[in-house]
Structure 1
Amino acid sequence: MIVLTVAFGSFGFISTSNTGGLMTDVILLWAIVGFDGGFSMARLYKTFEGSEWIKTTLKTASMFPGLVFSILVVLYVLKWSDGSWGPIPLRDMFVLAVLWFAISLPLVSLGSYIGFKLPKIKDLVITNEIPREIPEQSWYNKSSFFSIMMGGIIPFVVYYIFGLVLVVLIMTSVEVTILLCYIQLCHEDYLWWSRSYLTAGSSAFYLFIYATFYYFTKLNITELVPSVLYFGYMLIACLAIFVLTGTIGFWAGFMFTRLLYSSVKIV
């Protein structure tokens, strides 16, 4: 959704100056690309030999939009109670519900169904059925929190220096994740999948820290409701960045390990 929004905005198909129209286009794109979300989930979930595909499909279709919708409801109720905004029009709520349940959910389910019908992604090397014991790790590699936070700060700093360039953020997330994944494998720690997601996704944490710093140093907001609205909308933006960069990091680690172990020759 983010990639299509940036691409369509660059070619002039989407007006980025019209905030209301931009949000409408973003929500519509999110609903349409639900097929890709369901299909990608199904292919990966089947590859990792998951069995609860119906529950996972529902999570794919509802977790992120449900969380964002819950935050928006809290913010809207807060604005309404403060008297700064009237109630949400029922027509808009109905349109959002239709986009979610009549377009996004069926497309996610269709993509999931097709993905599970296909054979799983074939392993390029034979693995042991019994997991090998991971040797004792050094202090900096033993703590996954340390490596995750170190991996997230580099994409954020590069992204902050060069400005709003999506390609730079993607490339940096890929490079950092592959580097830390390689270091982890060199220490014989093969549990890379969740750490690769969190390594790239942790850049959203630094974005939220920067937003907090910007709030106290640049903004002159003294009232409670505007402050809560600011942090609420920034939380939604950081969640989107977390999902984006985390997904990029996981796919980078996934493709890297497949390429790395495909070159192993067993005699």
Structure 2
Amino acid sequence: SRILKNDLNRLGGEDDDDDDDRVGEENGWKIIHTDVFRFPQYRELFSSIIGVGSQFLSIFIGILLFAVCGMFTVHRHGSLIASAIILYALTSCIAGFVSGRIYRQLQGEHWTWNIILTANLFTIPFFIIWSIINTFAWAHGTTQALPYTTVLILAFMWLFVGFPLTVLGGIFGKNCSSNFDAPCRTKNVAREIPSVAWYRTSLIRMLIGGFLPFSAISVELYYIFSTFWGREQYMLYGILTIVFIILLLVTASISIALTYFQLTSEDYRWWWQSIISSGSTGLFVFFYGIFFYFYRSKMSGTLQTLQFFAYTLISCYVFFLMLGTVGFFSSLKFIRYIYVNIKMD
């Protein structure tokens, strides 16, 4: 923060006549101003991730609000899952709107594919994993297997509520979106990216971007896992809300810092990197799930093991989408700020 502030103050103090010469002499994030707003590859997938991530962020906020208001108690079994399903269907419009808006700003052209991808980015992976679990449950004859009627109700809810709302949100997002309006012009020819030391590679940024936010929630994760997979009863929703806010703040701060260090390496490919670095928290949550299963739980058996790791994998996927979205918007806001505040032609 202090380094960036000194850079901006130094640039802001230069005379206007020396701006072009000064920019040409600079290295790091200032010299790549003609490439930093170059749009990413795979725009359909990129905008879909941001859209679905925004949807899950809204779902988490809604669930926490319900929890703080006392809607989830030990006497209301299944109320949390029911609320999550209803919120997922109703917030599909948010996924469509954000995805359509981002895709419009990225000058995308394949609108149908963008909407279909947004609607199925989470639904299809979840349905495949859930189908495998339910098939095993039916084969074992357990009561945990959902009956066909419940499956049909969920399918109709997605088909007649979730998917139409995604389409409507995408249409509104496309029509209500303005141009990207980058502070700097982008050249036709991309600048060559120099090689960097091993400790500044994408892998290291991903590990740092995932571990630090994970450390902010590691203690609370034990109680959450124990509640879902054990006999613990978690009722400290106020503390959980505070931890969630801390998680978002840490994710945003780390994403901004990692993006800045990436730009100082003259690497302008920050779009996908901001998602991957922030979303990698989900990877650490999965590693914690492995630790919890073997060293903190008493679970055993094929079906229980399959259920635990399958649903943990889905939860980590949700973390990736949600926190990756937070990292992207934080980095975008930061990059706009620093490039608006320097003088260049």
Range into which the TM-score falls when normalised by the shorter chain: over 0.9
**Matched residue type, 2:112:** I
Asked whether the 8 Å contact 2:286–2:316 carries over to 1, the reply is yes
Aligned to 2:323: 245
Asked whether the 8 Å contact 2:251–2:327 carries over to 1, the reply is yes
Q: Which has the higher contact order (CA 8 A, sep 6+)?
A: 2
Aligned to 1:15: 72
Aligned to 1:140: 199
Highest Rg: 1 or 2? 2
Mapped partners of 2:79, 2:220: distance in 1: 27
**Matched residue type, 1:194:** W
Instruction: Tell whether 2:272 aligns with 1:197.
Output: no
Within 5 Å, which residues of 2 pair with 1:147-162? 147-161=205-219
Identity %: 29
1:16 Cα deviation after fit? 5.0
Mapped partners of 2:158, 2:251: distance in 1: 30
Mapped partners of 1:120, 1:96: distance in 2: 38
Aligned to 1:256: 334
Give the SS at the match of 1:210. helix
Over aligned residue pairs, what C-alpha RMSD do you find?
Answer: 1.7
Mapped partners of 2:265, 2:206: distance in 1: 16
Aligned to 2:10: none
1:183 Cα deviation after fit? 0.3
Asked whether the 8 Å contact 2:106–2:180 carries over to 1, the reply is no
Mapped partners of 1:250, 1:223: distance in 2: 40
Aligned to 1:127: 186
User: Which of 20, 39, 45 does residue 97 from structure 2 map onto?
Assistant: 39
Give the SS at the match of 2:122. helix
Gap runs ≥5 in structure 1: none
Mapped partners of 1:19, 1:2: distance in 2: 19
Asked whether the 8 Å contact 1:43–1:121 carries over to 2, the reply is no
**Matched residue type, 1:30:** Y
Mapped partners of 1:54, 1:211: distance in 2: 37
**Matched residue type, 1:260:** I
Instruction: Tell whether 2:166 aligns with 1:108.
Output: yes
Q: TM-score, normalised by structure 2?
A: 0.73
Pair 161,229 (structure 1): closer, same or farther in 2 beyond 3 Å? closer
**Matched residue type, 2:158:** W
Mapped partners of 1:84, 1:9: distance in 2: 30
1:125 Cα deviation after fit? 2.3
1:162 Cα deviation after fit? 6.3
1:81 Cα deviation after fit? 0.8
Aligned length: 265
Mapped partners of 2:73, 2:80: distance in 1: 6
Pair 215,162 (structure 1): closer, same or farther in 2 beyond 3 Å? closer
Deviation sequence 1:149-192 (CA, Å, 0-9, x none) = 12100000122246642101111110110000000011110100
Mapped partners of 1:182, 1:213: distance in 2: 33
Asked whether the 8 Å contact 1:200–1:245 carries over to 2, the reply is yes
Q: TM-score, normalised by structure 1?
A: 0.93
Asked whether the 8 Å contact 2:255–2:327 carries over to 1, the reply is yes
Asked whether the 8 Å contact 1:16–1:22 carries over to 2, the reply is no
1:19 Cα deviation after fit? 4.2
Mapped partners of 1:19, 1:206: distance in 2: 29
Give the SS at the match of 1:222. coil
1:105 Cα deviation after fit? 0.9
